[in-house]
Amino acid sequence: MQAYFDQLDRVRYEGSKSSNPLAFHHYNPDELVLGKRMEEHLRFAACYWHTFCWNGADMFGVGAFNRPWQQPGEALALAKRKADVAFEFFHKLHVPFYCFHDVDVSPEGASLKEYINNFAQMVDVLAGKQEESGVKLLWGTANCFTNPRYGAGCGDEPRSRSLQLGGNASCYSDGSNP
């Protein structure tokens, strides 16, 4: 497996006087706050889409982020590579939780059958990475808003294909295997 952040050490607490931009300046997971470790109060998570999928595009122009894991290639292989990147990142930042939309972690495919198969494979990949790393899934949900097919919503969508895809995505996005 290629390491994407191997030139970086794990981010650690160094205090407010640290000049290291890759250090926690105020977040000290071991500091006691009201009788609990700070880590217990501030249980942060990394959002898969914003961190690993977004290319930087906005209403003013095309994406400007160079994501080495977002290169042309076979969609499922790229999704597995993105999972490698994500869990390496979680390790570097001591991230205890992550969250995702179904299409962040898995390619949609050309059919409902392909979507379900792709997602099932990625559920297995992510479950293995969670087991190895101790990182837990905070939430997984269906992205029933980005694709134009959901322009009129999902559950009240007049086109049956949108309702079918959205309903299935919602059923499987909790991380369960079909």
Residues in contact with 109: Cβ distance below 8 Å, sequence separation at least 6, in sequence order: 75, 115, 117, 118
Three-state secondary-structure class, residue 136: strand
User: For 45, phi and psi rounded to 5 degrees?
Assistant: -135, 160
Query: Which of 58, 62, 169 lies closest to 105, judged by CA?
Result: 169
User: For 71, phi and psi rounded to 5 degrees?
Assistant: -115, 160
Residues catalogued as catalytic:
101, 104
